[in-house]
Structure 1
């Protein structure tokens, strides 16, 4: 009896992993991560974790917002927030200061403009 090779679409679907398995079922990050927060990578991606999904995030996160990283790695933002928080705790990523309650109008406008510029480049 000959075994049929599944079509490429079925093969790629079998490799996909449910997002919550990447976070071990966690839905809340252990570190406060607003979606507009800008990130800085503190080391090279090759010096980081060996998990492919974390490496992908490290490769694109430098000088980008949490929302931009989620879009670039094509993963749900909730999952990316949890994984980025893990990378912060591992000392691989730093979260730059974002808008505070006492932020000025100019600071708020600057953040919105940077976010829009970043999203346009996607």
Structure 2
């Protein structure tokens, strides 16, 4: 019988190659992202592959962080790399956010 304590933990700095600053500036927790059409066939691994899979429909940085159970800073670095490589793009951002979107982001951040 295994428990969550038996699962090996990967340190956040291992996921980002030790980097703490994203290659793409301006990624806020509410930034909506979508995968490029050809991204699923790209040779991506681990968290990058999972982000592309999740971003087949728009996802916020906070949603991705919660889905991956990874710190926001780590997700921003990985997403920044994916944007730079052309696998993920930033969706058009509205000037104002709906109450439901704000509540969903709040709930996802709390889940962390």
Structures share a fold, TM > 0.5?
yes
Higher alpha-carbon Rg = 1
Q: For structure 1, which runs of at least 5 residues remain unmatched after alignment?
A: 1-6, 100-106
Given candidates 11, 17, 20, the residue that maps to 2:10 is: 17
Structure 1 residue 87, shift from structure 2 partner: 0.4
Greater relative contact order (CA < 8 Å, ≥ 6 in sequence): 2
- Once superposed, which parts of structure 1, at least 4 consecutive aligned residues long, lie more than 4 Å away? 117-122
The equivalences for 1:32-43 within 5 A come to 32=25, 33-43=27-37
What SS class does the counterpart of residue 57 from structure 1 fall into?
helix
CA distance in 2, matches of 1:29, 1:23: 9
Given candidates 92, 95, 99, the residue that maps to 2:90 is: 95
Given candidates 23, 28, 38, the residue that maps to 1:30 is: 23
- Give TM-score, length-normalised by structure 1: 0.71
Q: For structure 2, which runs of at least 5 residues remain unmatched after alignment?
A: none
CA distance in 2, matches of 1:24, 1:109: 33
- Give TM-score, length-normalised by structure 2: 0.77
Give the alignment's Cα RMSD to 1 decimal: 2.6
CA distance in 2, matches of 1:49, 1:80: 19
